[in-house]
Amino acid sequence: MSDRPEPIVTGIQVVGIYATDLERARRFYVDLLGLHVKEEMEPGVLLSAGETTIYLEGGRSLAVDPGLFAASTSICFGSKSIRSAYERLTAAGAHVVEPYTEFSPTFAMFQIADPDGLVVEFAGIP
């Protein structure tokens, strides 16, 4: 029998993304990335990315200049084809942080930045 206590965290309920401008962030996450609006919830909106719920909240100010390589949290999305996602997003003018790289026949990734500089990663099957 283990002396370790039960874990406090049992899962991730919602991922929060704070933005300076809700409408600009909404265009990025909904119009460009294709997340679905689940529910308007002032001062933001609940979005779905598959089975994951994201709360996008506007009206925030940047605590520091985030820079693209600052210590922070990023979000990683999956896609049916990472290569196709990269091609579509770069054609739409997404700001590339780390270009598409194939590490193996079963894994590729790339990173872009959202309007506030948050690094958004895509990873999975090329």
What region does 124 belong to: left with phi over 0, alpha with psi -120 to 50, or beta?
left
Res. 123: pLDDT tops 60 = yes
Radius of gyration for the chain, computed over Cα atoms and rounded to the nearest angstrom: 16
Nearest alpha carbon to residue 28 among 73, 77, 111, 89: 89
The greatest distance separating any two alpha carbons of the chain, rounded to the nearest whole angstrom, comes to 56
Beta-bridge partners for 110: 122
Taking the whole predicted model, whether its pTM rises above 0.75 is answered as: yes
Topology of domain 14-124, CATH: 2,3-Dihydroxybiphenyl 1,2-Dioxygenase; domain 1 (3.10.180)
User: Which residues lie below 8 Å from residue 49, measured CB to CB, with a gap of 6+?
Assistant: 35, 36, 77
CB atoms within 10 A of CB 5: 6
Structure token digits, residue 91? 């054609």
CB of 33 closer than 8 Å to CB of 25: no
Residues 43-100: tens digit of each pLDDT: 999 999 999 999 999 998 876 655 555 556 789 999 999 999 999 999 999 999 999 9
